[in-house]
Amino acid sequence: MAALTYPWFHNNQPLEAAQIPVVSLEEFTNAVRNAAAAGMRIASFFAAASGPHLVCLYAVIADENIGRLSVLSAAAQDSYPSLTPDCPQVHLFEREIAEQWGILPQGHPWLKPVRFHPCCRSGKEIWKQQNILPSVMNFYRLEGEQIHEVAVGPVHAGIIEPGHFRFQCLGEQVFHLEISLGYQHRGIERRLIGGPTPRTYALIQTAAGDTTIGHTTAYCQLLESTADIQAPPRAQAIRGIALELERLANHTGDLGALANDVGYLPTASFCGRIRGDFLNLTALLCGNRFGRNLVCPGGVQFDLTAEKADQMRRRLHELKKDLTVAVELLWNTPSVLARFEETGKIDEQTCRQLGLVGVAARACGLETDVRFRFPAGVYQFAQVPVSTWHTGDVFARAYVRWLEIQRSLAFLLELLDNCPGGPIRADWDGPAANRFCVSLTEGWRGEICHAAATDAQGRLAFYKITDPSFHNWTGLAMALRGQQISDFPLCNKSFNLSYCGHDL
């Protein structure tokens, strides 16, 4: 049972702003520590302005055992005792708060900038420098004979986003990897304040371009909750179809890319084509392969006609057959398994300590999935089984993807056969005043968390986005320890994290 004494609420359940417990800083830090010690996750931890001269800390705590969330707040001073030594899963959140608001987590063991942008509070900069260029900082270094350093990026050989990776190696063996991002920072959260406006919608859809449906669904559910409305059942079903198509396209692409990284071209070439076919099914639904402009506050903008449903059902059956042949080749090829198994391992304890989410966590045996633990929308009425594996290596992250593909296909076909009728959009006049809400969605990478509050005029007073990549980048660094440096591309692809979703 929950160790916290603060109110618990459901995913997407709105609260009056006055219902958020405001406690002393000491009580706040003790509560977060106790929650982590009791096995709960910190879904989000951030600071936000609460008046012209006051900044408050907020912690969103998720108890997966009871499927409930809790939130608490404390007025921030210029510093507080760092939680990271006792609760490593908040280490990056604390660095983010220090960078954004100049609030020092005293005793943080790894205090460095996250996105290399100026502090919001003039004169409170932790690093006494207004404009720090990305990755221009001291990196962790090992000293010793034959120790050498390898720097990779920010410009990479492939068509990927910019990011810097600094390896400390002895020969081919990696002792430590430090990852420095921030090149893609666009200031999305600051630009959302004062919304929603038409620009708000565009910013949310591109927070992570390959997760348009995931982030837009979280955003729309949040706004609907603050306005005390729900999308009609048919709209919720169409959102679920789009979300699973997004998962299918990306998981299929990842399996093909993993095959390509170990030089196994049959699966790589098949999956590249099939990924495109899944994207085309999303285009069939709404005219855009990434699902842009499909999900909107109040429901969806495009209906699923009977003709489209028939076409989608037929093509899904064909894709299921093709994909099964392509992916089964991976598990029946010893040279592929030799490269996947025991590569880039993370144990369950490390996974829990870091608060990993999504495929990376389920590949360590954790039964964590928003669709199951905190169901919303169509997932309240139709269950997708949680897919896990126990080895925590590249094989596990690949195999969990394959299990999820099969279950998403089954879920989609059932939903197409039983899609409820009725309208696809409810009237929506904007959020109510002085509300707070947390919206969780299981995107294809993992848990997407949006938290926001409205002011007395019903405008967004603050908006916090936590992409699953924000939780998981440290997991990639840990997976590289003790590996050959030549395994980096394979390990990196097995996580396939978002740079722009992290940088926002």
The contacts of residue 338 (CB under 8 Å, 6+ apart) are none
CA distance 369 to 50: 32
pTM, entire model = 0.96
Split the chain (504 residues) into runs of 10 and give each run's mean pLDDT.
74 94 95 95 95 90 96 93 96 97 96 92 82 87 92 86 95 96 96 94 96 98 96 98 98 98 96 97 97 97 96 97 97 97 97 97 97 96 94 98 98 96 94 96 98 96 97 97 96 97 97
Q: Which residues pair with 15 in a beta bridge?
A: 436
Cβ 201 vs Cβ 342: under 8 Å: no
Given phi > 0 = left and psi -120 to 50 = alpha, else beta, which region is 50?
A: beta
**DSSP-derived pairing of the beta strands 447-454 and 41-49:** unpaired
CA distances to 192, 196, 292, 327 from 202, rounded to whole Å, are 10, 11, 9, 35
- Determine the Cα–Cα distance for residues 247 and 503; give it in Å rounded to an integer: 22
Query: What is d(CA 99, CA 189) in angstroms, rounded to the nearest whole number?
Result: 14
pLDDT at 3: 56
